Amino acid sequence: MAELKYIEGYPENMRQEIEKVAKTREKRISYTPPAMTMKERDEVLKIHPDYAPGGKREIRVGPNKGNLAPNEVVDLLEAYPLIEHGDVNLSKIDYDADILIIGGGLAGTTASLWANDCGVPAERILLTNKLRHGDANSIMAEGGTQAADRGVDSVVKHYIDTIGGGHFANKPDVARTLVEDAPLIMKWLCELGAIFDREENGDLAEKLAGGLSVKRMHSCRDYTGLEEFRVLRDEFRTRQIHCLEHYPAIELLTEGSRVTGAVLWNLETGDYKIVRAKAIIIATGGYGRLHIRGFPTTNHYGATFDGVVLAYRAGAKLRDIDAVQYHPTGAAYPIQIVGYLLTEKLRGSGAQPVNADGEAFVYPLEPRDVEAASIIRECYVRNKGIITPTGLRGVWLDTPLIEIKNGKGYIEKAFPGMIRMYKRYDIDIRKDPVLVFPTLHYQNGGIETDRDGRTNVEGLWVAGEVSGGVHGKNRLMGNSTLDCLVFGRKAGMSTADYVKSQKGERKIALDHLKNYVQKLQQAGVKETRRAPIILPDYRGKAALARMIDVF
């Protein structure tokens, strides 16, 4: 692309397109397209990657046999294990814990703190991480956390917004816990020293977001998840809770139908550790790195669905696993940041999606699936998208509107992360719009949980994105960090309670794995795939073609 001439970050042809956006901006200050009717929503959703044909198939084995799921998900559920019965020596136990937590994002870390608060000693809790403690989607949550704590708001309103956004498929008692515990969680974070955006009078500053009926979104600039997490990690480290890094779990261990431990694998040296535990909390997050339907993702490097794969083999039931969330506004230009998250808070603060003709074509705060489908329709059906030098299509997100609506200097204060990201490519989001296209964002369903984070498998809890039920078929913005915090807390408290009543010897075995492999064979699944995949592979094709496995 050396021949392209760039003007303030954009090539000449895109620069010309931007002028059309600038021209209509004045008119659009006072014009917002109306929200869609339920019928219009249903119509546009036909083009959403979740509903467009060809993306899903039936699961052939396990507790959810017969259910539909994305092909990439079924590939992993029907994959063979990395280890077999007899591959690992289970007679030497490296860690004997009361509670093993797999995954150290917001959910896992919160669980450890509350288990500790409920009387489980720090040295009886083990938190293990695939990468470093905190290399998780949690810290990338930009926009905020919902909690109904203003006078005009109520937990009932939060509930209705949540289940409406979830297409009424949410588990009612679980969604109820989410909204009822939200203010308590906010208070806990404030007491631990998390710094939230405030009004002049010291009240929490709150914003609208997609699918919300009331301003309820709390944020910490555009580093909300990072701020929440680093406060919790600081507390975690202060309490000296036992922590392993670069040790992903590659299989659970069982005794009959209950889980009793896990095999951890040293990512750097390749040796394994055996953990025995009275209770296990899986908090491994989601599956963005599976690149479902070939979409880029907002997710961190380790978001590869491992936790669900492990639990499923041990008999855990899944729900709403067919529903994938695509964030409406991922970056579509420049190529270096394709798929990266442009928080919904931008639209909550006044930025509008605008097509190639400079028209605002969609209400900016539809639920995420509706908003995403509308952008895909604009680009690929109505052909009103903008094409990048590498052939991607996108629509504009008119960020300069934010300062027209909120005053000069607002973007720098509220979106320092965004400014920084684009500045590295010479783009000033205060002056120019940015190009966006939907990106793979969130695993709506997962391992079915109850309101305490408990699964159908004895000894097994889940919290955060890995779980299914609370968000139904579609999660609202600000309910993911909240999910991690509320159900991390619940799982921590519930496991603390459980382990106190657990006496007696626990055996650890891999019998469940043997059974699962048998089922795969009976179903005629070929042994071509192995899981968990642990990390995706982005090595260049030329380098891979000449690799020799010597050591």
Within residues 268-307, the interface with other proteins by CB under 8 A covers 268, 291, 293-296, 298, 300-302
Residue closer to other proteins by CB (options 442, 516) is 442
Residue closer to other proteins by CB (options 86, 391) is 391
Residue closer to other proteins by CB (options 104, 446) is 104
Contact 67, 520 (CB under 8 A): no
* CB of residue 545 to other proteins, shortest distance in Å: 10
The span of 14-22, 119-127, 521-529, 533-541 binding other proteins (CB under 8 A) equals 533-541
**65, 132, 431, 530: which one binds other proteins (CB under 8 A):** 132
* CB of residue 81 to other proteins, shortest distance in Å: 20
* CB of residue 292 to other proteins, shortest distance in Å: 10
The residue count for binding other proteins (CB under 8 A) is: 111
User: What DSSP string runs through 381-447?
Assistant: TS---EE-TTS-EEEEEETHHHHHHH-TTHHHHH-HHHHHHHHTTT--TTTS-EEEEEEEEEE--EE
Q: Does 469 bind other proteins (CB under 8 A)?
A: no
Within 329-388, the residues that bind other proteins by CB under 8 A are 334-341, 350, 376, 380-381
* CB of residue 153 to other proteins, shortest distance in Å: 8
- Please, how many CA atoms are within 13 Å of residue 382, restricted to the half-sphere of its CB? 18
* CB of residue 402 to other proteins, shortest distance in Å: 12
Q: Does 230 bind other proteins (CB under 8 A)?
A: yes
Within 46-75, the residues that bind other proteins by CB under 8 A are 47, 49, 52-55
The span of 111-119, 230-238, 276-284, 462-470 binding other proteins (CB under 8 A) equals 230-238
User: What DSSP string runs through 141-190?
Assistant: --S-EE---STT--HHHHHHHHHHHTTT-S-HHHHHHHHHSHHHHHHHHH
Residue closer to other proteins by CB (options 161, 371) is 161
Q: Does 39 bind other proteins (CB under 8 A)?
A: no
* CB of residue 270 to other proteins, shortest distance in Å: 10
Q: Does 541 bind other proteins (CB under 8 A)?
A: yes
Q: Does 155 bind other proteins (CB under 8 A)?
A: yes
Report which secondary-structure segment, H or E, holds 518.
helix 511-522
**220, 309, 466, 508: which one binds other proteins (CB under 8 A):** 220
Q: Does 226 bind other proteins (CB under 8 A)?
A: yes
Residue closer to other proteins by CB (options 62, 339) is 339
Report which secondary-structure segment, H or E, holds 345.
helix 344-348
The span of 62-70, 94-102, 220-228, 500-508 binding other proteins (CB under 8 A) equals 220-228
Within 179-218, the residues that bind other proteins by CB under 8 A are 180, 183-184, 186-187, 190-196, 198, 202-204, 208, 213-215
Q: Does 157 bind other proteins (CB under 8 A)?
A: yes
What are the start-end ranges of the E strands in 183-308?
206-207, 217-218, 242-244, 249-255, 258-265, 272-282
Map residue 328 onto helix, strand or coil: strand
Residue closer to other proteins by CB (options 261, 353) is 353
Sign of CA dihedral 20, 21, 22, 25: positive
Inter-axis angle of helices 224-238 and 106-117, to 10 degrees?
40
Residue closer to other proteins by CB (options 291, 519) is 291
* Strand 393-398 to 386-387 pairing: antiparallel
CA 35-441-248 angle, to 5 degrees, is: 160
Residue closer to other proteins by CB (options 63, 389) is 389
Residue closer to other proteins by CB (options 124, 393) is 393
* CB of residue 491 to other proteins, shortest distance in Å: 20
CA 311 to centroid of chain Cα atoms: 18
DSSP 36: P
Two tokens, residue 345: 């808070």
Spatial separation of the C-alpha atoms in residues 416 and 139, rounded to whole Å: 15
Contacting residues for 381 by C-beta, under 8 A, at least 6 apart:
47
Spatial separation of the C-alpha atoms in residues 292 and 429, rounded to whole Å: 29
* CB of residue 455 to other proteins, shortest distance in Å: 22
Q: Does 163 bind other proteins (CB under 8 A)?
A: yes
| Residue 122: closest CA among 209, 286, 242 | 242
x/- mask, other proteins, residues 72-101, rule CB under 8 A, reads: ------------------------------
**234, 357, 511, 527: which one binds other proteins (CB under 8 A):** 234
Q: Does 29 bind other proteins (CB under 8 A)?
A: no
Largest CA distance in the chain: 74
On the question of a cis peptide bond just before residue 532, with omega within 30 degrees of 0, the verdict is: yes
Residues recognised as catalytic:
327, 347
Residue closer to other proteins by CB (options 237, 431) is 237
Spatial separation of the C-alpha atoms in residues 123 and 427, rounded to whole Å: 49
* CB of residue 6 to other proteins, shortest distance in Å: 12
**71, 390, 518, 521: which one binds other proteins (CB under 8 A):** 390
3-state helix, strand, coil in the chain (%, to 5): 35, 20, 45
